Structure 1
Amino acid sequence: MASERSARWDEPLFDAIPDAVLVVDQSRRVVFANAAVATVFGYQSADSVGSNVDNLLPTLFQPAYHDGLERIFANPQVAAPGEPFPLMAERADGCQVAVSIRVSPFQRNGETFALAVIRDIHENHQLGEAQRVSEMHFRILAQVLHALQEAPADPTSVLEVATAQLAASLGDACVVAMIDEAGEHLVPRVFHHKDPYGEEVMREIFLSGPVILGAGIAGEVAATGEPTNISGIPTDQMKASVRSEYQSYFDSFATSSVLVVPIKTDGGVIGTIGLSREAPYTKSDQALLEDIAVSISVGLSRATLSRDLADSQAMLTAVADNVPAAIGYWDRNLRNVYANKTYLDLVGTTAEQCRGKHASEILGPDQFAAVLSHLKAAIAGEPQVFDREIVNSQGVTRHVQATYVPDLVDDEVAGVFVLLVDNTERVEVEREVERRERLFRLIFDHAPQGIAVLGADFSFQRVNEALSVELDRDPKWLMLRKFTDLLEGAELKKFIEHASQLSSGAVGRVSFELRLPGVDGRSHWVRCSMAVIQDHESTSRSPGGSALFVCNFEEITAARSRRQKLEYRARHDSLTGLLNRDAFKEILAAVKHGRRGTDSAYALMFCDLDYFKDINDRYGHLLGDAVLETVADRIQSAVRKSDIVARLGGDEFVVLLSDVDSMDACYTVAEKIHESLEIPMKSEDLDVELGVTIGVCIAAAGSDPQLVLNVADEALYEEKVTKRGSTRIVDLRL
């Protein structure tokens, strides 16, 4: 019978379709299946004919398909082809596969059938599901880590924070139990559930009392230190664990699942954390919970350490309160964390009133506005030293020298240390001295900076002593010459251009940097501020008549050197000396806009050290930093002179290879990096063998470098998953 029905539907057109095609009659029996059914479901088309279509669908998804069939058979004349809808199908080997089904009415010889076109979307479904789970897990872990960071220094509060986040995100119920001091029992400490009634029920299970180590699921985990992931626990078994008045709670669950992992410290297992819900827990769920257990362990250690340091903090507070300077600390959100007694007296408040308040509330709007730019600079990582006036709590104006020092934690500014030194007496003396000196400044020759008056032809008309010293020239020697006689090349051209702007009236004043040669052959830099005046009473016969240039010269050699050093630090990694992330972004922007001067292909190489965290954990961050410095030197030595190496952060390095003519060129550089890092790093305190995984992307000139970098990063990730310590190259030109 099945072969006869199949013969009636033997359509070559259907077998040419790459999607699976099923024709189903009103009894839900398959009357035709094309060849693609074997690819999607694992059944031969002949084996499918005559079987019930429900055999291809898990029970959970059958109602959705039945609805489509009923709609078609109820009124085939008006039933339009349905929209494709996704569901899970069941293969011949028992595995489930994600498919998209479109069901349409089909009539033949007066009989109505349902025509189902089925497309395999399992690969896209798996990728989307994996990404969704990964993003959810990352969000949960980030929330728990942030909450633990903000939790008070109290162990119970740490546990409350973690369980609340987990119960809301990953399970119906979450419980933490800790091993007692005797090391014999596991004592439930903190519990959270999504709904009040469920919490009441589950407390009967999880918080009924201490558990002997080795007994029950949590007790066994505590005793062995190994996680347990159990799914499919029968409802009757869960009901048996609670009193009769709570047993109805489990009627809505087909089965239950429990995931329990140990909480460990260096001394061993200290407790367990468990989750419970209906749906099974995956391996990634278990990995996430194990990461959170580590975070809880760190949070508990931090809370214990905070208590141990309480006495030391009290002593430090006493010392700080007796320092004759105002000391404070602001977090990166400009909220007060600490202020010593001198600081509190200065602003007229108490520690309780001050702590946690925003700087604008404590300083007032005017004084806050006066220091805001310095606070922002300090938050950006730039130390600040400046003088300011403040009005103290008695209404008296005080002159202070303010020092703002960024608090760097893992290369991130966590807050700002503030030191205010009262310099009122010194400032008042300086102002009096300045008032008196102002009288003498009228005498040109005693001006503190170099000043010259030049004629229209740039001849020296007058010079002061300070300029004579700056130029290391005798005043009489200068008066016989022109200022332009001291300049040459680009500096001479620069000076004349600025002077011409003044002479033409285009500008009223100019200021520019100028390099002046010294008598000893060493150049020094000055800032030349220049204006033009008209001396109508002048008897000068120089070309240009009465026009005079008044020039002020400020020595900036040291300041310019400091600025160049700051600019260098802003573009380079402070640990390794390589270009930092911001500088590398600028280089990528130059590549994108064709400013690198090459029309050939280029490549971006993403390098990530293997198991570097283990080195930090074993040797500490100080030696870990030493390893990173050595890695940076070896990578720099391994690449070509034309290549650019940068450190993006952590143990991630990136290399820009220009003028790449083939994949072999990239393999050659990558192999040199592998070889250089395989050499053991040994010292008195260190014995390390490193590996590195490399992802490379080659692209044609003009390709978006950010896209190229992303592809290199993906290649690195894929290579780490499959084979660490090797290189994967993607050529976008192919």
Structure 2
Amino acid sequence: MADPRAVSAGRIASAIDQLPSMIGYWDSSLRNVFANRVYADYFGIEPPDLVGKHIRELLGEALYELNLPYISGALAGEQQQFDRTLIDVNGAVRVTQVTYVPDVVDGAVVGFTAMVVDVSARAEAERERDRAIRLFRIAMENAPIGKAVMTCDGRWLQVNKALCELLGYTAEELQHRTFRDITHPDDISLADEHLKGLAEGTLTNVASEKRYIRKDGATIWVQRNATVVRDADAGDVIIAQIQDITARKNVEAALERQVLLDDLTSLGNRRRLMAELLALKEAVDSRPVGMLFVDVDEFKSINDRFGHAMGDRVLAAIGRRILDNVRADDVACRIGGDEFVALLYTATSADGVERLADRVRELLAGPYDIDGTDIPVTVSVGWSWEPTTDPDQLLRIADERMYSSKRA
């Protein structure tokens, strides 16, 4: 009958032999007592051939000297753990984690167990992670436009140098603020809507133009692109790219003003009036709006008598008088050669508009002093007060009353 202890020891040895890590036992003289099969894969030495060999013969002189402090520590009774890069018998580079466990009998160290675990895959994953983090940081810091990492409740986690320069804050100052603290008040509502969509998953990314308030109080326009990155362990974050478009927006605004502006008088032009009337037609509010229609009487005779250049200066002078006397919420336009229209959003009654028409007739009357020459001018003024649901009628009635005034 087989000795149970021998059977048990055989099973343990067989089990250890199947483990994917190198496991060996070295006595206090540093000679091998036991090694499992994995040693053959690393060093090309069959475990039975390793028994009795000094650990220096296995490791080689250079590797032995590197490991000697840990070997000495184990023989002194202290467990050791360290990482070591090995080159196996096939020339493959293996990153390993080595553990030496002292074997203490009656207070004396009689040897130690060595366990060497291959962590190459983990080490490569860590290298890839570190490389990705390093590349991300390089991209962040050297990007010519603003970049940021934010929490899903709008706090700044990481910001790059370009964003700090754009906003005038240091990175530390921004990290103590949320995006709402620097967003223009008129844009906060839409920004909150976008943030909620990203946080809840109804949006995966957003792209919009919005305004920020710099530290010095200046308002700037930015193109903001943001996307959410989901991470169950680290928590979801938002990656944002922020580019200054203030110069472009200023050019667009200037072009828009030119498209809607009369060059001679600085009033709105016919296109501006048509845009205002279209907006009235589409508006939900149908409250009445006032209008004045002004035409210069016998303007052709002014051109014939004084010349077209002088006539243009008279029109410019009339435009200045109109511009100086309209309210900020009203809109005055030159819609033809000598025709002007004022939309009176601030008017409150038909009687008030009619009285204003009489005052304007007197206000715009000449003479106009152009380089010492008095040029006589009279104007005819028509008016209307109609619901905004029919802006065409508003213009038609004012036009008819203007011609009635001219005939009178």
Residues 659 and 589 from structure 1, CA distance in 2 versus in 1: closer, same or farther, beyond 3 angstroms? farther
Of 185, 193, 206, which residue of structure 2 is paired with 1:497?
A: 193
Structure 2 unmatched runs, 5+ = 1-134
Aligned-partner residue type, residue 615 of structure 1: I
Residues 645 and 678 from structure 1, CA distance in 2 versus in 1: closer, same or farther, beyond 3 angstroms? same
Of 572, 581, 585, which residue of structure 1 is paired with 2:270?
A: 581
Instruction: Tell me what 1:552 maps to.
Output: 241
Residues 190-589 of structure 1 aligned to structure 2 (within 5 Å):
443-479=139-175, 483=179, 486-487=182-183, 491-535=187-231, 540=234, 545=235, 547-589=236-278
Of 324, 328, 336, which residue of structure 2 is paired with 1:649?
A: 336
Instruction: Tell me what 1:690 maps to.
Output: 377
- Cα offset, 1:716, TM superposition: 3.5
Instruction: Tell me what 2:390 maps to.
Output: 704
Instruction: Tell me what 1:281 maps to.
Output: none
Instruction: Tell me what 2:348 maps to.
Output: 659
Instruction: Tell me what 1:675 maps to.
Output: 362
Contact between 1:512 and 1:528, CA under 8 Å: does it hold in 2? yes
CA distance in 2, matches of 1:561, 1:454: 29
Contact between 1:450 and 1:465, CA under 8 Å: does it hold in 2? yes
CA distance in 1, matches of 2:217, 2:316: 38
- Cα offset, 1:450, TM superposition: 0.7
Residues 566 and 465 from structure 1, CA distance in 2 versus in 1: closer, same or farther, beyond 3 angstroms? same
Contact between 1:695 and 1:716, CA under 8 Å: does it hold in 2? yes
CA distance in 1, matches of 2:327, 2:219: 35
The number of equivalent residue pairs is 272
- Cα offset, 1:562, TM superposition: 2.9
Contact between 1:639 and 1:673, CA under 8 Å: does it hold in 2? no
Residues 115-264 of structure 1 aligned to structure 2 (within 5 Å):
none
TM-score (normalizing by structure 2): 0.56
Structure 1 unmatched runs, 5+ = 1-438, 724-734
Residues 653 and 530 from structure 1, CA distance in 2 versus in 1: closer, same or farther, beyond 3 angstroms? same
CA distance in 2, matches of 1:705, 1:456: 47
Instruction: Tell me what 1:435 maps to.
Output: none
Deviations 1:423-467 (A, max 9, x none): xxxxxxxxxxxxxxxx99963310100111223444444322211
CA distance in 1, matches of 2:177, 2:342: 54
Of 399, 402, 405, which residue of structure 2 is paired with 1:713?
A: 399
Identity %: 33
CA distance in 1, matches of 2:185, 2:178: 16
Aligned-partner residue type, residue 512 of structure 1: S
SS at match of 2:216: coil
- Cα offset, 1:677, TM superposition: 2.9
Deviations 1:127-165 (A, max 9, x none): xxxxxxxxxxxxxxxxxxxxxxxxxxxxxxxxxxxxxxx
Residues 496 and 514 from structure 1, CA distance in 2 versus in 1: closer, same or farther, beyond 3 angstroms? same
CA distance in 2, matches of 1:581, 1:487: 36
- Cα offset, 1:636, TM superposition: 4.5
Of 572, 581, 598, which residue of structure 1 is paired with 2:287?
A: 598
Residues 463 and 577 from structure 1, CA distance in 2 versus in 1: closer, same or farther, beyond 3 angstroms? same
Aligned-partner residue type, residue 704 of structure 1: D
Residues 509 and 616 from structure 1, CA distance in 2 versus in 1: closer, same or farther, beyond 3 angstroms? farther
Residues 467 and 604 from structure 1, CA distance in 2 versus in 1: closer, same or farther, beyond 3 angstroms? closer
Aligned-partner residue type, residue 572 of structure 1: L
CA distance in 2, matches of 1:487, 1:637: 34
Aligned-partner residue type, residue 652 of structure 1: E
Instruction: Tell me what 1:116 maps to.
Output: none
Aligned-partner residue type, residue 654 of structure 1: V
CA distance in 2, matches of 1:496, 1:695: 48
SS at match of 1:495: helix
Of 301, 305, 311, which residue of structure 2 is paired with 1:614?
A: 301
CA distance in 2, matches of 1:666, 1:512: 42
Contact between 1:441 and 1:447, CA under 8 Å: does it hold in 2? no
SS at match of 1:649: coil
Aligned-partner residue type, residue 337 of structure 2: G
Residues 638 and 466 from structure 1, CA distance in 2 versus in 1: closer, same or farther, beyond 3 angstroms? closer
Deviations 1:697-734 (A, max 9, x none): x45546733234234334444554x44xxxxxxxxxxx
Contact between 2:290 and 2:350, CA under 8 Å: does it hold in 1? no
- Cα offset, 1:647, TM superposition: 1.5
| Structure of greater Rg | 2
Residues 595 and 582 from structure 1, CA distance in 2 versus in 1: closer, same or farther, beyond 3 angstroms? farther
Instruction: Tell me what 2:44 maps to.
Output: none
Aligned-partner residue type, residue 713 of structure 1: D
SS at match of 1:451: strand
CA distance in 2, matches of 1:454, 1:684: 64
Contact between 1:454 and 1:549, CA under 8 Å: does it hold in 2? yes
- Cα offset, 1:531, TM superposition: 0.9
Contact between 1:681 and 1:689, CA under 8 Å: does it hold in 2? yes
Residues 26-105 of structure 1 aligned to structure 2 (within 5 Å):
none
Contact between 1:639 and 1:669, CA under 8 Å: does it hold in 2? no
CA distance in 1, matches of 2:329, 2:177: 48
SS at match of 2:165: helix
Residues 443 and 670 from structure 1, CA distance in 2 versus in 1: closer, same or farther, beyond 3 angstroms? closer
Aligned-partner residue type, residue 226 of structure 2: M
Deviations 1:399-429 (A, max 9, x none): xxxxxxxxxxxxxxxxxxxxxxxxxxxxxxx
